Amino acid sequence: MKTKQYVEDLKKKSDADLAQELVNAKKELFNLRFQNATNQLDNTARIKEVRKNIARIQTLITEKAKAAQ
């Protein structure tokens, strides 16, 4: 249920908001990878979750771009 709600929230956002969300997710992924490399990360499953969220955001950006054409 959490994933469906996240996707619905993303669909309501504008292109600029989606781009900002993508930047934030990529920064978070970088930080998680850095913490993992230095053995400071407790929840390694968070990396997989953030990667999937990035893919979801990119998919919505692509869908909106194709719909605008």
Considering the domain boundaries, does residue 23 fall inside one? yes
Domain count, the chain: 1
Give the CATH number for residue 22: 1.10.287.310
What is d(CA 49, CA 57) in angstroms, rounded to the nearest whole number? 12
Two tokens, residue 8: 């619905």
Task: Confirm whether pTM is higher than 0.75.
Answer: yes
Considering the domain boundaries, does residue 6 fall inside one? no
Considering the domain boundaries, does residue 56 fall inside one? yes
Digitized pLDDT (tens) for each residue of the chain, 69 residues in all: 588 999 999 999 999 999 999 999 999 999 999 999 999 999 999 999 999 999 999 999 999 999 988
Considering the domain boundaries, does residue 26 fall inside one? yes
Considering the domain boundaries, does residue 8 fall inside one? no
Considering the domain boundaries, does residue 10 fall inside one? no
Containing structural domain, residue 50 = 15-68
Considering the domain boundaries, does residue 4 fall inside one? no
